[in-house]
A and B are shown apart, each in its own frame.
Chain A
């Protein structure tokens, strides 16, 4: 059952009023322009035991995504495809408002939007993840872990998932028998077969104003959010409106144009990371540049 949130982080009235006053003047409390993302910091493969991983820091929102591959049975209606599973964990260390326990509706929504954004445009070539047709396939677990919550979990989670997938290597397997397949995780060579990259662009709507990449303080004040999943060819591969107010047609159209423009920037960022991964590979995560 879905309930009106009653345990939102408290935002002091004075801060709320300041944010609103600034918005009316075309300014944001952290000094950004309406169309700006916060700074994005990326580390690729920070978790070598995962088949692929990426840490993304979007302002103070920190997400790490790990990809694990296990062998299992395909879905009965998709016997010639591997299986994709996306999960999101909002662990209690990430926010004073998170409690331990199974994923709540917000975590489930984030995971499902990312799942659809990857599945619908066939971002992952699942048909190449078959080991024994109709019997044994790779099950790809995309586990998104929120470490610090400062708004716009979805875009940070999508970016870290997309990067982790790009750096995923498939372990080598020896098929002894149908029920005896040995996975050698020491030997990971084949990259995960991908067709294209996808990013999500989340835009906060406050009256007629459109705020790209809303921070947590902004999320608590604005009317609603629209998330656009956009692939590298500029197609829209997913949409999700969240929040407790409706939106006008003109507002939606303006947000759509803005999202397509911002998507280009994020796709360029992914390209930059893929072309120069050494610049984004860190020896350790205990870095002042990351947490400082």
Chain B
């Protein structure tokens, strides 16, 4: 396929967004009955659902840590989430992303409050349209909050990309495929810490710094929406 025009003559992106504009973001918590906490998050066409179980008994026993909970995290894409069917077996990419998402959440969860237990985080990508790891991180963070697990802060994920030489916020699949760089960022806005950071592509030093600034701005907005989503459910419960 020919490379599409990513930045149009009017300076807008292929889907009409401004460079610093997010896709429409929707989220809901407490969507699953069985799990202790759950959330569904959509960034435009990207749809991700996350569930949290625990803290619960660690099995097998030899994995127990005496001074903290262990976190297990699985990022997984459904076979129908992509244009061509994705094999449900975990790919090397999914194994790596499970690790970076787990490490991002280890930075905020108070694991030391639940020694000898396990907190399980399951992320299923239902539809992939770019930014699945960052939407997954946002969903996982919401699901942890919904499960009532104490955290230092919420984490919002968003990717910054470089397309046709322009830094853009929240890239979709087309921009990821044909752009020059994809930089996923996980940001805990309340404590001002970057908990996930990767770069897949080529950037100058100034672009990296500018990109992180842009990602933080986007993440701050998502963070606000996350809080509103949680307030909506829990304040209502308190008032009734």
Q: Does B225 contact A (CB under 8 A)?
A: no
Q: Taking CB as reference atom, which chain B residue is nearest A4?
A: B70
Q: Does A245 contact B (CB under 8 A)?
A: yes
Q: Does B193 contact A (CB under 8 A)?
A: yes
Interchain CB contact under 8 A, B205 and A256: yes
A224-244 residues with Cβ-Cβ distance < 8 A to B are: 224, 226, 231, 234-244
- In the complex, A249→B192 CA distance in Å? 8
B-side interface mostly: mixed
Most buried by B among A4, A106, A112: A4
Q: Taking CB as reference atom, which chain A residue is nearest B213?
A: A249
Q: Taking CB as reference atom, which chain B residue is nearest A121?
A: B202
Interchain CB contact under 8 A, B99 and A112: no
Q: Does B32 contact A (CB under 8 A)?
A: no
Q: Of B33-41, B101-109, B125-133, which stretch is located at the interface?
A: B101-109
Q: Does B163 contact A (CB under 8 A)?
A: no
Q: A2 to nearest B CB, angstroms?
A: 4
Question: Binary interface profile of B, 135-163, with partner A (CB < 8 Å = 1, else 0)?
Answer: 00000000000000000000000000000
Q: Does B98 contact A (CB under 8 A)?
A: yes
Interchain CB contact under 8 A, B202 and A235: yes
Q: Does B92 contact A (CB under 8 A)?
A: yes
Please indicate the chain B residues that have their CB under 8 angstroms from the CB of A235 in the complex. Answer: 202-204
Q: A36 to nearest B CB, angstroms?
A: 22
Please indicate the chain B residues that have their CB under 8 angstroms from the CB of A289 in the complex. Answer: none
A-side interface mostly: mixed
Please indicate the chain B residues that have their CB under 8 angstroms from the CB of A231 in the complex. Answer: 202
Interchain CB contact under 8 A, A6 and B204: no
Please indicate the chain B residues that have their CB under 8 angstroms from the CB of A224 in the complex. Answer: 103, 107
Interchain CB contact under 8 A, B70 and A120: no
Q: Does A3 contact B (CB under 8 A)?
A: yes
Q: Does B12 contact A (CB under 8 A)?
A: no
- In the complex, A2→B118 CA distance in Å? 12
Q: Taking CB as reference atom, which chain A residue is nearest B98?
A: A2
Interchain CB contact under 8 A, B98 and A246: no
- In the complex, A246→B202 CA distance in Å? 24
Interchain CB contact under 8 A, A120 and B103: no
Q: Does A253 contact B (CB under 8 A)?
A: yes
Interchain CB contact under 8 A, A226 and B202: no
Q: A101 to nearest B CB, angstroms?
A: 13
Given A237-B202, A238-B199, A260-B205, verify A246-B72 contact (CB < 8 Å): no
Interchain CB contact under 8 A, A256 and B209: yes
When the two chains form the complex, which single residue of A238, A241, A252 contacts B200, counting CB atoms closer than 8 Å? A238
Interchain CB contact under 8 A, A2 and B95: yes
When the two chains form the complex, which single residue of B196, B205, B216 contacts A236, counting CB atoms closer than 8 Å? B205
Q: Does A25 contact B (CB under 8 A)?
A: no
Q: A219 to nearest B CB, angstroms?
A: 13
A112-148 residues with Cβ-Cβ distance < 8 A to B are: 112, 116, 120-121
Interchain CB contact under 8 A, A246 and B65: no
Interchain CB contact under 8 A, B95 and A105: yes
Given A2-B72, A4-B102, verify A239-B205 contact (CB < 8 Å): no
- In the complex, A247→B107 CA distance in Å? 9
Question: Binary interface profile of B, 63-91, with partner A (CB < 8 Å = 1, else 0)?
Answer: 11100101111100000000000000000
When the two chains form the complex, which single residue of A6, A237, A247 contacts B65, counting CB atoms closer than 8 Å? A6
When the two chains form the complex, which single residue of A121, A239, A244 contacts B197, counting CB atoms closer than 8 Å? A239
- In the complex, A256→B183 CA distance in Å? 15
B35-70 residues with Cβ-Cβ distance < 8 A to A are: 62-65, 68, 70
Q: Does B212 contact A (CB under 8 A)?
A: yes
Interchain CB contact under 8 A, A239 and B95: no
Could you name 5 residue pairs across A and B whose Cβ atoms are closer than 8 Å?
A1-B73, A2-B73, A3-B71, A236-B205, A245-B107
Report which B residues bind A (CB closer than 8 A): 62-65, 68, 70-74, 92-93, 95-96, 98-103, 106-108, 111, 181, 183, 188, 191-205, 208-209, 212, 216
Report which A residues bind B (CB closer than 8 A): 1-4, 6, 105-106, 108-109, 111-112, 116, 120-121, 224, 226, 231, 234-249, 252-253, 256, 260
With A4-B111, A105-B99, A249-B216 known, 16 other A-B pairs at CB within 8 A are A1-B72, A3-B70, A3-B102, A6-B65, A105-B95, A120-B201, A237-B201, A239-B208, A241-B197, A242-B100, A244-B106, A246-B194, A248-B193, A248-B194, A249-B212, A252-B212
